[in-house]
Structure 1
Amino acid sequence: MKFRSKFSLITACLASLLAFNQANAQNADSIRLNQIGFYPNAPKKAIILNTDRGAFYIETGAGKKVFTGSVSRSVSKAFNGKYTGIANFSALNTPGTYKLVIPQKVESYTFSISNNALKSVADGAIKGFYYIRASTELKEQYAGKWYRAAGHPDDKVLIHSSAASKDRKEGTVISSPGGWYDAGDYNKYIVNSGISTATLLSLYEDFPAYMQTVKLNIPESNDKLPDVLNEVLWNLRWMLTMQDPADGGVYHKLTNAAFDGMVMPDQTSTPRYVVQKGTAATLDFAAVMAQASRIFAKYPQQLPGLADSCQKAAIHAWEWAVKNPTVLYNQDKMNKTKKPQINTGAYGDNKVDDEFVWAACELLVTTKNNIYTPYIKLVPVEAITVPTWSDVRTMGYYTLLKHEDIVLTTSFNELPGLEIDFLKFADNLVAGASDDAYQTVIDKSAKNFGWGSNSVAANQGMALILAYKLNGDQKYLDNALANLDYLLGRNGTGYCYLTGFGDKQVMHPHHRPSVADGIEEPVPGLLAGGPNPGMQDKIPTASKVPDEAYIDDDRAYAVNEIAINWNAPFVYLANAIQAIESVTKKNRK
C-alpha cells in the first residue's frame, strides 16, 4: 500500500508538472514573435492574441524588468476576424536574453538581442541543402545524427522514350549524379533547380564579403571557396549533366516513373530516367549557367575552366531554345504516347516568355552581347511579381538592376524606367503592412496563402532587400525583416517554420528522410511550405483561415512539405539580413 501511495503521488506530481508545462506553452503561444532573436538597432515587435491594450514588459530570465511599453490595437483585423495587440519594443537595444510579459502573467518564449541574432538560422538554412544531397553518403562528422548512406547514385540513368534523339535513343544509359533532392521526394527537376540555384548564386553575388565568412562544416569546406558556392557546385555540376551535348537542349527532369515510398534513399531501387527536353528547362539552365559563369570567373585557379564551360553551356542552351521556342512539358499528354508513364512532379509551364527574359538578361550581363537585348521584354509595374519557378521574369530584372554599370554599356536602354517601376512595385508591397494584424507584407492579402506560402514571404523579403540596396530606404529593410520574423514565429499559427529552430517547432515535415530515419527530430534547416487552405492532400488543417490553415503532419504535403525553391529565398533573406544588420548597418535613424 505504501508503494502504491508513493507511486500515485509521483504520478500525480508528474501529471501536474506536465499540465503546468502545457499551460505555459499555451500562454507563450498567445504571444507571437520571432522565437530566435532580434538585432539591437532593428525593429522588434510581438503580436498578442488575447489583449489589445494595457502594459507589457520585457524581463530578463531572472525577472528583472528592463523595458515597459503599451500594447496598441492593430488597425485591421486578422483573417480570423479579430484584432491583435501589438507590442513594440524596438527601443530596447541592449544585448541579452529576454522574455515579453503582460500583466495577466502570460510570458513569451525567450529570445535574444544580439548582433548575430539570426546567424544560426541563416547558416542552418544553407546547411539544409547539404542534408538533401543526392548520390552521396552523409558522414556523421558533417551530418551529426542525421548521417545516412548514399542514395540514388544516378550513374546509370535511362533515356526515357520522350527524350530519345538520334544520338541518344530510348534506353541509352547516361550518368547524371549529384544534385539536390527537390522536395519531400527523391527526384531532381531542372526548372526548380534553376530558380533555387540562381537564388543562392545571387546571395553570394550580392553579399560576397559576408558570404566569405560563412562556414558550414561540409566536406568541401576550405579557405579557397566560400561554402555557399561549394554547396551550389553540388547541384550545378548535376545540372550540367542534364544538357544533351549534341544539340544543347536540356532534359526537364531526372526521375523515377513514380514516387518512392517513405523510405531512406538507399532503400530505393526503381529505374531512373531523364525525361523530355523542354524550352522552360533549357532557358532556366541557360540563365543559371550564365550567372554561374560570371561568378566562377572570379575563381580561375580554384575552378579552372568552369566559368568557360558554364558560358558555353548557356549559349548552347539558348541556341536550342531559340530554335525550339514552344516545346512545353505536358506530362499528361506525354503519358498518352510514351512509356513508361511518368507520375512524379510535373512542373509544367504553359508559357515561356518569362524564361526567355530571364535567360536573355543573364546572358546579356555575362557576355555583353547585344543579340540578347530584343528578348528582354518589360511589363507594366502592376504585372511585376515576386519570382516563382513558373514565373522567373523578375529574376532577370534583378540582374539588370544589380549590374547597372554593365547594362549601360549595352544596347538595352530601358534601365531607368525599370528601376522606377521596380521601386513602385516594392512600395506596393510595403504599403499598408503596418496596419495589418501581424505587421507583415505576407499578411496583407489572403492570396498569398497558397501552396508554398512561406516561399512567398521569403521572396517578398528578397525583393525588398534589393529595393533597399537600390536606394537605401529603411522601410524596405524593415519590412523584409518583418517577413523573416513572420517565418520564425510572428504568424497566425505560432510555428517557427524552419526545422530545428524555435520553441514551437515543425517536427513532422513531409520529407522522406525525416520520416524514415528513426530520429525524433526532423532533418534541420528545411523550410516547411506553410499555411494553405487548399488542402490538396485531403489532410484537414487546424483552421481554414488563410494564415492559420496549417498542420504539422508528415502526410500533409500541401502545407508541410519542404522544397529547394522554398529554402533558397529563406537562405537569401536570412543571410542578407544578417549581413546588413551585423556588418554594414551600424545605426538607424
Structure 2
Amino acid sequence: MLKQKLNAYVSAIITIGASLGLAGCGATEDNSTAGVVVHPYASSIKINQLGYLPNASKIVAIPTVSARKFSVRNASGEVIKNGISSEPKPSTLSGESISQIDLSSIKDVGKYELSVDGIDETSTFEVINNRYEDLHKATLKAYYYNRAGLEITPELGGKFARAMGHPDTEVIIHPSAASDARPAGTVISSPKGWYDAGDYNKYIVNSGISTYTLLQAFSQHEDYYNSLNLNIPESNNNKADILDEIAWNLEWMSTMQDPNDGGVYHKLTTLNFSGIIMPQEGKESRFVVQKTTTAALNFAAVLAKASRVYKNIDADLSEKYEKQALAAFKWASINPAVPYRQPEDVSTGQYEDEYPIDEFAWASAELFLTTNSNSFLTSFNNVAVTPEVPSWSNSSALGYISLLFDGKQLLPEQDYQRIKSTFLLLAKRILKEHEQSAYPNSMTKVDYVWGSNGVAMNKAMVMFQAYNLTKEMAYQVAGEGLLNYALGTNPTGFSYVTGFGKVTPMHPHHRPSEADNVVKPVPGFLVGGPHSGQQDKCDYVSDLPSQSYVDHWCSYASNEVTINWNAPLVFALAHMQSKYR
C-alpha cells in the first residue's frame, strides 16, 4: 500500500513543488505453564518497581491459573485493602495465564506491602508525589552522556565522566555522497550531535523522530520544562535545559545539509562499528554518506518544527532553520524516491526506508504550520497517509500530532475534526488491544520487534495524546499501563531503564557503559526490550516474544539503547508529571 501511494505521490509532489517555486532545484495457550517463572529475575508479582503517583492507576499482574485473594498493608502493618484478583487470561506471548490486581484506590502517600495467597513472596511499593521527576531527569540527561564532541566533566557527570570524543570537525565526503561542488574526499565540519545508540555514529533519520519527540514534549509542557534543571553545562543560561540538550543535536543536523543543493546526508559514521572502547579512543576517519529522500524529509520536518519552537527565543536561528527546512523539502520534491543503499565499504547502521510517503506527509504538515502556506496543507491532504504507531521507519502519526496540537488556530475546522477523528482511530485500536490483553498493557505479538520497548513508549505517547484531545480516562489508563510495563509490570521482572528499579539492566549494549570500568551502566537509558528475533545469537532463556530478553552486552537485539526509544519515554514522563502535579 505504501509503495502504491508513493508511486502515485511522486508526480503529485513534483507538481506541488513546482507550485511552491521548488522545481529545478495464534498458538493455543497451554495453561500448564501458567505461573511458571521463565526469567531468572522475574518476581511472581509484576509491579511498577518505582511506585506510583497518588492519583494514577495502579494495576499489578500475577501469573496464576485461578483468581487469588490479596491484601495490602501500610507501613504500620495495618491492612488497608483486601480483595480478589481478576479471572486469569491466557497470554501466548509469555506462556502464562495472568490475573490482575487493581490498587488504584490507594491514593495516600506512603509505603505499602502487597501479599497474595499462594505466593510466598510479598511486594513492597510506594505511593509518592512527584514520583517520576528523578527518572525523567535521568532519561533526558542520558542524551548529555551521549553527546559527541564534548568532555563529560566530573562536576556534571560524576563517575561517568569521560574525555571528549569524535569532535567531527574534519569529516570526509564519502564517494556515495559526492557531488560536483563537494567531490569525494572533500573535508567538512559536522560537530556535536548525539551518538545514536550503542555505537558512536550519528544518523539523520533516527535523529528525526528523536529530536521531534523531545521538541513536542517541550511544546506541550513548556511551563514544566522551564523549571526543570538537568545539571548540564548550559543549565544557567536562562533557557529550558531540554532546549539546550535538543540544540546540541539540532546544531549537528544543520551541518548535514549540502548548502549547494539542499540535500541531506544520511549519516555521519566510521566505515565499520568500533570495538568496546570509550569515545576518546575512536580515531578512525569519519564520513558523511549518501543523500537520501528520507534524510531530507526528516531534516525538513524537524527543522520546521524547531523553527516554531525557537521563534520567540532566537529569531535569527528560527529563520535559518525554516530556510534549511524549505531547501531540504525542495531537494526531496525533486528526488522523491532516493533510498539508502549501503556502500560496499560501509557496515554501520542503515535506517533504510524504501517508501518515504509518510515522511512527505510529516514534512508537509510541519512546513504548513511553520509557513502558513496552504500548499503544504494540500500536500499533506493529498498524501492521505493513515497514522500508525510512530517509529523511525513510520512517521505517519507525527504530522497528525503536530497539526492537532500546534495547528488548531490555523486549520479549517472541518480539516481539524477530520484529522482528529483519523488520529483517534489509531488510539481506539490501541485501547482495544489494552482491553483484550492478559497483562495490563496493549502490547501484541507484532509489537515484539527490535526495540519493542520503543513501541510501548510510542503507543503510550499516542494514548496520552488521545487523552489530551478527549479527556477520556480510558486512554490515560492505557498509557499508564504501558509506562508501568516498562518499569516492571512485565514477564521478565526487569525495569527496563538503566539505574531505576529493583531489577534493572546492568550490561546494556552501550559502548561507554561497557568500556568505562564503572560497574553500573550510564543511568536513564531505556533498553530495547524483548523480541524473539534473537539476531545476536546470545544465550536467551526463552523464545516467547515477551520473555525473549537477556541482560548482556552481546545482546544488541534486546539490550541496546537508542535515542529514539528514550524520546517517547521522556514524553510519557513529562505528561505524567504535568498531569499529576
What one-letter code is carried by the residue in structure 2 that aligns with 1:502? G
Deviation (angstroms), 1:223: 5.7
Match among 372, 378, 385 for residue 376 of structure 2? 372
- Change beyond 3 A, Cα 1:202–1:278: same
Match of 1:196 in 2: 210
1:272 aligns with 2:283: no
Query: How many equivalent pairs are there?
Result: 544
1:173 aligns with 2:176: no
Q: Secondary structure at the match of 2:49?
A: coil
Deviations, residues 118-172 of structure 1 (Å, cap 9, x unaligned): 2222221111111111111001111111111111110110111111112211111
Deviation (angstroms), 1:76: 4.1
Cα distance in 1 for residues equivalent to 2:89 and 2:382: 36
- Change beyond 3 A, Cα 1:379–1:539: farther
Deviations, residues 54-97 of structure 1 (Å, cap 9, x unaligned): 32122235544332222222344352443222111111111012
Match among 381, 384, 391 for residue 388 of structure 1? 391
Q: Secondary structure at the match of 2:558?
A: helix
Q: Residues 11-50 of structure 1 correspond to what in structure 2 (within 5 A)? A: 29-50=43-64
Deviation (angstroms), 1:248: 1.0
Contact 2:298-2:359 at 8 Å conserved across structures: yes
What one-letter code is carried by the residue in structure 2 that aligns with 1:328? P
Cα distance in 1 for residues equivalent to 2:78 and 2:280: 53
Cα distance in 2 for residues equivalent to 1:106 and 1:379: 57
Deviations, residues 411-468 of structure 1 (Å, cap 9, x unaligned): x9633222112112211111152342211112xx211101000001000000111111
1:319 aligns with 2:330: yes
What one-letter code is carried by the residue in structure 1 that aligns with 2:346? I
- Change beyond 3 A, Cα 1:26–1:265: closer
Match among 51, 55, 70 for residue 84 of structure 2? 70
What one-letter code is carried by the residue in structure 1 that aligns with 2:185? G
- Change beyond 3 A, Cα 1:105–1:537: closer
Match of 2:456 in 1: 457
Match among 146, 158, 171 for residue 172 of structure 2? 158
Q: Secondary structure at the match of 1:501?
A: coil
Match among 228, 231, 248 for residue 234 of structure 1? 248
Deviations, residues 391-426 of structure 1 (Å, cap 9, x unaligned): 1121111111113434326xx963322211211221
Cα distance in 2 for residues equivalent to 1:77 and 1:105: 20
Q: Residues 100-499 of structure 1 correspond to what in structure 2 (within 5 A)? A: 100-104=114-118, 106-222=120-236, 224-300=238-314, 305-331=316-342, 334-335=343-344, 341-377=345-381, 383-408=386-411, 414-442=415-443, 445-499=444-498
- Change beyond 3 A, Cα 1:35–1:437: same
Contact 1:157-1:273 at 8 Å conserved across structures: yes
TM-score (normalised: structure 2): 0.90
Q: Secondary structure at the match of 2:111?
A: strand
What one-letter code is carried by the residue in structure 2 that aligns with 1:553? H
Cα distance in 2 for residues equivalent to 1:432 and 1:450: 17
Deviations, residues 237-268 of structure 1 (Å, cap 9, x unaligned): 00001111111111000000000101111111
For structure 1, which segment, 459-468 or 56-65, has the greater mean C-alpha deviation from structure 2 after superposition?
A: 56-65
Cα distance in 2 for residues equivalent to 1:185 and 1:467: 35
Deviation (angstroms), 1:526: 0.5
Cα distance in 1 for residues equivalent to 2:83 and 2:54: 17
What one-letter code is carried by the residue in structure 1 that aligns with 2:253? M
Contact 1:531-1:559 at 8 Å conserved across structures: yes
- Change beyond 3 A, Cα 1:108–1:450: farther
Q: Residues 556-567 of structure 1 correspond to what in structure 2 (within 5 A)? A: 556-567=555-566
What one-letter code is carried by the residue in structure 2 that aligns with 1:368? N
What one-letter code is carried by the residue in structure 1 that aligns with 2:394? D
Identical residues among aligned pairs (%)? 42
Match of 2:106 in 1: 92
Q: Secondary structure at the match of 1:79?
A: coil
Cα distance in 1 for residues equivalent to 2:94 and 2:308: 48
- Change beyond 3 A, Cα 1:432–1:173: closer
Cα distance in 2 for residues equivalent to 1:212 and 1:97: 31
Deviation (angstroms), 1:358: 0.6
